[in-house]
Amino acid sequence: MTFSICVRERYLDEQGCEQTRFGVAVTTRLAGVGTLCPFASENGAIATQSVVNVELGRKGIEYLDDGLAVEDALEALLNADAEHSQRQLHGVGRDGEFAFSGEDCKQWYGDAVGENYTVAGNLLTGESVIDATVEAYEDSAPSLDPADDVDQPLAERLIDALGAGHSEGGDKREDLPVHSAALLVRSTEKQAMDPYYDDLRVDATETPIADLRETFQEATRSFEMALERYEDVYEDDSTATE
């Protein structure tokens, strides 16, 4: 599976309480990547790729939800995986980052770890794909002070980061015209209505970034319409934030 990004951001909610959001986004030259690669919860975000082992993502998130540090969780899973040399696995937890690229991943492959993010890819046109993805995210990310948040939703900024890597060549398998892309965003903040644009997939297309961006825009429009019509109903529903 091609390239992906996982991020952690701290921010202040409307009541001035510190919250944390996690996001993961991925694109590849195969269909249905959203069913295989991205995993997230209010405790972290993980991407599993190359020769995909979906259980690494599922169990990884379970371990983070149980309170394990991301490096401990993912290293334990890799140590128990006999085929770990073919895997790429990376992610962020509440307080750390982790990235692994097995020696048997297909060229070009590599990863990058920064403060609050990880990026990894395989079968790429080159290292510049990773570099462009990192640069685009860093340019859009908030500062480390939770009070210095940004207006642009994380989901949209993740699409921009994927777009930057895609523009650098992305997946090198030009003989495979069908792509897919997906993103997930989760937060510790309890909201009356979770934004529709925080869980999006484009399962089969030749224009993955453009289609994911259009899906984001339509989901945003739908969410805003729903807020206008139904927000009072959700706020009065005691089960909405449980």
What CATH number did the domain enclosing 60 receive? 3.60.20.10
For 195-241, write each residue's pLDDT tens digit. Answer: 999 999 999 999 999 999 999 999 999 999 988 887 676 665 554 44
The verdict on residue 24 lying in a domain is yes
Q: What strand order describes the sheet that includes 87-92?
A: 38-41, 44-50, 87-92, 97-101
The verdict on residue 127 lying in a domain is yes
For 111-122, write each residue's pLDDT tens digit. Answer: 999 999 999 999
Q: Which of 107, 98, 88, 7 is nearest to 48 (CA)?
A: 88
Q: Compute the distance between CA of residue 157 and CA of residue 51 in angstroms, rounded to an integer.
A: 27
The verdict on residue 45 lying in a domain is yes
The verdict on residue 241 lying in a domain is no
Q: Give me the residues paired with residue 216 across strands.
A: none
Structure tokens at 72: 């401990």
For 59-96, write each residue's pLDDT tens digit. Answer: 999 999 999 999 999 999 999 999 999 999 999 999 99
For 158-202, write each residue's pLDDT tens digit. Answer: 999 999 999 999 999 999 999 999 999 999 999 878 899 999 999
The verdict on residue 86 lying in a domain is yes
At 1 the pLDDT is 59
Q: Give me the residues paired with residue 38 across strands.
A: 47
Q: Which of 30, 70, 72, 22 is nearest to 51 (CA)?
A: 30
The verdict on residue 51 lying in a domain is yes
Count of domains forming the chain: 1
Q: Which of 48, 86, 46 is nearest to 68 (CA)?
A: 46
- Residue 49 belongs to domain spanning: 3-236
The verdict on residue 242 lying in a domain is no
What are the distances in angstroms from CA 168 to CA 130, 194, 203, 216?
A: 9, 33, 22, 22
Q: Which is it for strands 179-187 and 117-121: parallel, antiparallel or unpaired?
A: unpaired
Q: Give me the residues paired with residue 18 across strands.
A: 12
> Could you give the angle at which helices 154-167 and 208-236 cross, rounded to 10 degrees?
170
Q: Which is it for strands 179-187 and 44-50: parallel, antiparallel or unpaired?
A: unpaired
At 230 the pLDDT is 78
